[in-house]
Amino acid sequence: MKNLLITGGAGFIGSNFVHHILETHPDYQVVVFDKLTYAGNLDNLKDVTRDPRYTFVQGDICDAEAVEQVMREHQIDTIVNFAADTHVDRSLMEPGTFIQTDVYGTYVLLEAAKKFGVERYHQISTDEVYGEVMEGRSSEEDRLHTRSPYSASKAGGDLMCLAYFTSFGVPVTITRGSNNIGPYQYPEKVVPLFITNAIDDIPLPLYGDGTQMRDYQYVRDHCEGIDAVLHQGQPGEIYNLGTGVETRNIDMARLILKLLGKPESLIQPITDRPGHDRRYALDCRKIQSLGWRSRHSFEEALEKTVRWYVDNQWWWRKIKSGAHYEEYYERQYAGREID
């Protein structure tokens, strides 16, 4: 394993993973293959652009010819697939693009993995494929119970990976991660949205009663977990990847305001997301048996994240002042306030 194709590497987790790999594996070459959708951003990779071990190729994972060309040109032996449409709320507005990228795009990459005989194909998946779990924790064998077009598309991608393992012997592994937080997260996801709104004294749009729970993990912990599975995981296996600790959205919002010295009156309840999953919770014993542990508690992760957005306003102000973001915000939030 030395020539890695990192698809979706200009997005949030993918770009953190590129940093992680270049910092920890001096002998690896990294090729980022990314379509640069609204969520892809070369600013996320500006620290590594001069690194001779890093190459950027703009391309679509649904374009088999472009994928084969990059595989051939860079003698790729490992694919790590982060490329996806990723936001649940957008999947409610336009499910078709999610099916295209997250299912069809995964199929195109798997075909390339088969054709070029890669050492490993690693799929980045999500705890959302298990659906909401009101009690207990999801283990890797649990049935999938998806409820949003996003999670259904991700589950489709996972199942295709397992099919390519069983049918064609492609050495796939899958990690199902919980919610990530940290640097370079597009501010449509709740944590960077709330932090950047709070900095500007804009209300924090909290869905429903705010008692929904998520396992918020620091993105670099997630990257270390992916690395552990890439190097020590067994082909054909799925690994849950989270802290195993859940936090209510209302408590996350309050802590952000506390860290920024802002009043709780900034929290604005709004009508709930349709089909909003109340709780995700992972059983992570399988990945822990590889020696991986999450390094940050929720509080430490959130504090580091808040500090990054305070210190890197150049990064998110450019995004939030753009026409695409403003249109999205209006479409998503206008008129949803609850008294």
39 binds ligand NAD, rule: CB under 6 A: yes
Active site residue 158: no
Whole-Å CA distances, 114 to 63, 151, 159, 260, 300: 16, 25, 16, 49, 41
The only residue of 54, 186, 239, 315 in contact with ligand NAD, by rule CB under 6 A: 186
Closest contact distance (angstroms) between CB of 187 and ligand NAD is 11
Active site residue 107: no
12 binds ligand NAD, rule: CB under 6 A: yes
Closest contact distance (angstroms) between CB of 206 and ligand TYD is 5
- Of 91, 88, 72, the C-alpha closest to 33 is 72
Q: What does residue 278 show for φ and ψ, rounded to 5 degrees? A: -75, -35
Nearest residue to the partner ligand NAD, using Cβ = 11
Tokens of 304: 């580091």
Q: Is 330 exposed, middle or buried (0-12, 13-18, 19+ CB in 10 A)?
A: exposed
CA torsion sign for 79, 308, 323, 338 is positive
Tokens of 201: 């004294």
Q: Is 193 exposed, middle or buried (0-12, 13-18, 19+ CB in 10 A)?
A: buried
242 binds ligand NAD, rule: CB under 6 A: no
Provide the 8-state DSSP code for 279.
B
Closest contact distance (angstroms) between CB of 241 and ligand NAD is 8
The only residue of 19, 21, 78, 86 in contact with ligand NAD, by rule CB under 6 A: 86
34, 89, 102, 128: the catalytic one is 128
Which residue, 172 or 241, has its beta carbon nearer to ligand TYD?
241
**Could you report how far apart the first and last alpha carbons of the chain are, in Å?**
56
Tokens of 177: 């991660």
Which residue, 140 or 272, has its beta carbon nearer to ligand TYD?
272
Active site residue 128: yes
10 binds ligand NAD, rule: CB under 6 A: yes
Interface residue list for ligand NAD (CB under 6 A):
7-8, 10-14, 34-37, 39-40, 60-62, 82-86, 101, 105, 124, 126, 154, 177, 179-180, 186
Which residues are marked as active site?
127-128, 150
